[in-house]
């Protein structure tokens, strides 16, 4: 029986009168803290639990007193000491600043969080409060110049961007994004000492079981020339270059027959569940059969679920009269079938002959590492603005698209939220251009990119 995990702590900090208690109340939708227009009202640490399993949220939210008491009296010194003790126990700090006024206190407090041995290890999300109008979201340069990496414009009173703030908290808390699966059995639960889980998917008889056996080094799954021999998912764990990986050999995805075989429906559901429960996916093709319509459906499912994947072309040893051009030609045929595959890593192998299995695992480890990429808000905004300027008017008609602010809220998929002047001005070709730039700059090959546009103008 594993020990119960500690609920993470998120503390709202900042100088007096920046709106900490108002934000605390707004996030909880209850009036627990005392809020007044004059500074120094909050004299102790308030704590309440935020629990929303559907959004991956479970943490204690703490409201601290203003941390800018310059000449503390005996009582205030104790309050301040208690506040900093609370902050030191936090898993994430929401550092609140005033959009209309940045003081010396703010700068000194930021420096303390940067230099204090205990505080500098705690991730900080800098929220600029009192950003009451959408146009002001593009005016955060002065805060970027302060060297702040994670900046979020909000209005606690106007409740602007508070759902986004909760998304960012879930994203930045290491354990907050754990997916809760209903009716999950003990055997299906991912163990805490695994580095990641890997699903092997593809059409029946593509060689999934042979690949699993090659990866394991022994006969783990039944291998047969009869398509669809594997009727259930078989899990096993391997260690490769110090990484512990749970590998799922899925039941072959097969088109539903006219009679609607219950077994095939069950196999499809198990495959879908395996994809949902995995961190990384290998999509296996039969070199002789190529990329068919049902492979397209698999890629669509992977995109929909936001799963990083690579394409492995099995039975490459059976292709006759190969030369240096063969693989290039094969890839071009794949790209013509589905242009999306241009952004996906493709490797040839032979599971039966155990050829290029080591290389496949190297690519899988690399993909798993890249899939954890978090880009700071400041860097993202700098990159996106440069690309928007590069695009100029080439992707727009009479109404130029304008990005006000963007931030990352998920790693798998790589999910960005863009606040824009008008959603309709961002045409599909511009979004494709932005995705291509993101893939190139941040090495996101094989990682689905989701761009979510938000605007106050519908």
**Domain 196-372, CATH:** 3.40.50.300
pLDDT greater than 70 at residue 4: no
The answer to whether the annotation marks 297 as part of a ligand binding site is no
The answer to whether the annotation marks 316 as part of a ligand binding site is yes
The answer to whether the annotation marks 5 as part of a ligand binding site is no
pLDDT greater than 90 at residue 216: no
pLDDT of residue 220: 57
pLDDT greater than 80 at residue 21: yes
pLDDT greater than 50 at residue 288: yes
The answer to whether the annotation marks 226 as part of a ligand binding site is no
The answer to whether the annotation marks 446 as part of a ligand binding site is no
Least confident of 195-199, 205-209, 378-382: 205-209
Domain boundaries, the chain: 9-181, 196-372, 377-454
Q: At 289, give phi and psi (nearest 5°).
A: -90, -20
**Domain 377-454, CATH:** 3.30.300.20
pLDDT greater than 70 at residue 332: yes
The answer to whether the annotation marks 253 as part of a ligand binding site is yes
The answer to whether the annotation marks 248 as part of a ligand binding site is no
pLDDT of residue 188: 40
Q: What is the mean pLDDT of residues 350-362?
A: 94
Q: What is the mean pLDDT of residues 338-342?
A: 92
The answer to whether the annotation marks 381 as part of a ligand binding site is no
The answer to whether the annotation marks 321 as part of a ligand binding site is no
The answer to whether the annotation marks 16 as part of a ligand binding site is yes
The answer to whether the annotation marks 19 as part of a ligand binding site is yes
* Of 295, 300, 253, the residue nearest 274 (C-alpha): 253
Q: What is the mean pLDDT of residues 145-151?
A: 89
**Tokens matching residue 271:** 């495959």
Residue 1's pLDDT band (cuts 50, 70, 90)? very low
Q: Do domains 9-181 and 377-454 have the same CATH topology?
A: no
The answer to whether the annotation marks 296 as part of a ligand binding site is no
Q: What tens digit of pLDDT does each residue of 224-253 get?
A: 454 554 445 457 888 899 999 998 866 445
pLDDT of residue 181: 31
Residue 67's pLDDT band (cuts 50, 70, 90)? low
Say if residue 102 is exposed, middle or buried (CB neighbours under 10 Å; 0-12, 13-18, 19+). Answer: middle
Q: What tens digit of pLDDT does each residue of 180-196 get?
A: 233 333 334 444 578 99
Please state, rounded to an integer, the average pLDDT across all residues of the chain: 81
For the chain, percent of residues with pLDDT exceeding 70: 78
The answer to whether the annotation marks 277 as part of a ligand binding site is no
The answer to whether the annotation marks 205 as part of a ligand binding site is yes
Q: Which CATH class is domain 9-181?
A: alpha beta
pLDDT of residue 408: 95
The answer to whether the annotation marks 203 as part of a ligand binding site is yes
The answer to whether the annotation marks 326 as part of a ligand binding site is no
The answer to whether the annotation marks 420 as part of a ligand binding site is no
Q: What tens digit of pLDDT does each residue of 275-285 get?
A: 998 999 999 99
Indicate the pTM of the whole model: 0.81
pLDDT of residue 32: 53
The answer to whether the annotation marks 207 as part of a ligand binding site is yes
The answer to whether the annotation marks 123 as part of a ligand binding site is no
The answer to whether the annotation marks 154 as part of a ligand binding site is no
pLDDT of residue 374: 93
The answer to whether the annotation marks 138 as part of a ligand binding site is no
The answer to whether the annotation marks 40 as part of a ligand binding site is no
pLDDT of residue 79: 60
Residue 37's pLDDT band (cuts 50, 70, 90)? very low
pLDDT of residue 273: 82
Q: Look at 407 and 149; give whichever has higher pLDDT.
A: 407
Q: What is the mean pLDDT of residues 118-128?
A: 91
The answer to whether the annotation marks 392 as part of a ligand binding site is no
pLDDT greater than 70 at residue 129: yes
The answer to whether the annotation marks 14 as part of a ligand binding site is yes
Q: At 271, give phi and psi (nearest 5°).
A: -65, -45
Q: What tens digit of pLDDT does each residue of 365-410 get?
A: 999 999 999 999 999 999 999 999 988 767 666 678 889 999 999 9
């Amino acid at each position: 029986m594993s020990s119960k995990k500690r609920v993470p702590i998120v503390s709202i900090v900042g100088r007096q009168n920046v709106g900490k208690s108002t934000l605390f109340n707004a996030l909880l939708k209850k009036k627990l803290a005392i809020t007044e227009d004059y500074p120094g009202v909050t004299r102790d640490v308030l704590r309440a639990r935020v629990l929303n399993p559907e959004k991956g949220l479970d943490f204690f939210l703490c409201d601290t007193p203003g941390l800018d008491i310059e000449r503390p009296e005996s009582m205030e010194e104790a309050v301040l000491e208690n506040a900093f003790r609370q902050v030191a126990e936090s898993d994430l700090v929401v550092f609140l600043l005033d959009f209309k006024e940045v003081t010396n206190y703010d700068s000194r407090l930021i420096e303390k969080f940067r230099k204090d041995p205990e505080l500098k290890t705690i991730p900080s999300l800098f929220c600029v409060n009192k950003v009451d109008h959408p146009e002001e979201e593009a005016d955060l340069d002065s805060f970027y110049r302060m060297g702040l990496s994670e900046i979020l414009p909000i209005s606690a009173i106007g409740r602007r961007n508070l759902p986004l703030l909760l998304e960012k908290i879930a994203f930045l808390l290491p354990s907050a994004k754990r997916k809760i699966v209903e009716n999950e059995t003990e055997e299906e639960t991912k163990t805490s000492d695994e580095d990641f889980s890997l699903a092997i998917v593809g059409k029946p008889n593509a060689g999934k079981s042979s690949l699993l056996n090659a990866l394991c080094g022994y006969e783990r799954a039944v291998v047969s020339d009869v398509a669809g021999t594997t009727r259930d998912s078989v899990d096993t764990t391997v260690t490769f270059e110090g990484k512990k990986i749970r590998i799922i050999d899925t039941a072959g995805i097969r088109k539903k027959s006219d009679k609607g075989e219950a077994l095939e429906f069950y196999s499809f559901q198990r495959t879908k569940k395996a994809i949902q429960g995995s961190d990384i996916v290998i999509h296996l093709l039969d070199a002789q059969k190529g990329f068919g319509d049902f492979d397209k459906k698999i890629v669509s499912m992977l995109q929909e679920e936001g799963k990083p994947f690579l394409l492995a072309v099995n039975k490459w040893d059976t292709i006759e009269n190969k030369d240096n051009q063969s693989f290039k030609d094969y890839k071009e045929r794949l790209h013509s079938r589905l242009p999306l595959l241009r952004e996906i890593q493709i490797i040839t192998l032979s599971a039966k002959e155990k050829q290029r299995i080591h290389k496949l695992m190297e690519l899988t480890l690399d993909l798993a590492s890249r899939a954890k990429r978090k880009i700071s808000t400041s860097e993202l905004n700098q990159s996106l603005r440069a690309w928007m300027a590069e695009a100029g008017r080439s992707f727009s008609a009479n109404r130029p698209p304008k990005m006000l602010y963007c931030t990352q809220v998920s790693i798998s998929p790589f999910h960005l939220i863009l606040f824009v002047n008008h959603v309709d001005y961002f045409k599909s070709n511009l979004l494709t251009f932005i995705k291509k730039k993101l893939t190139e700059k941040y090495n996101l090959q094989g990682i689905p990119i989701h761009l979510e546009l938000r605007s106050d103008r519908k």
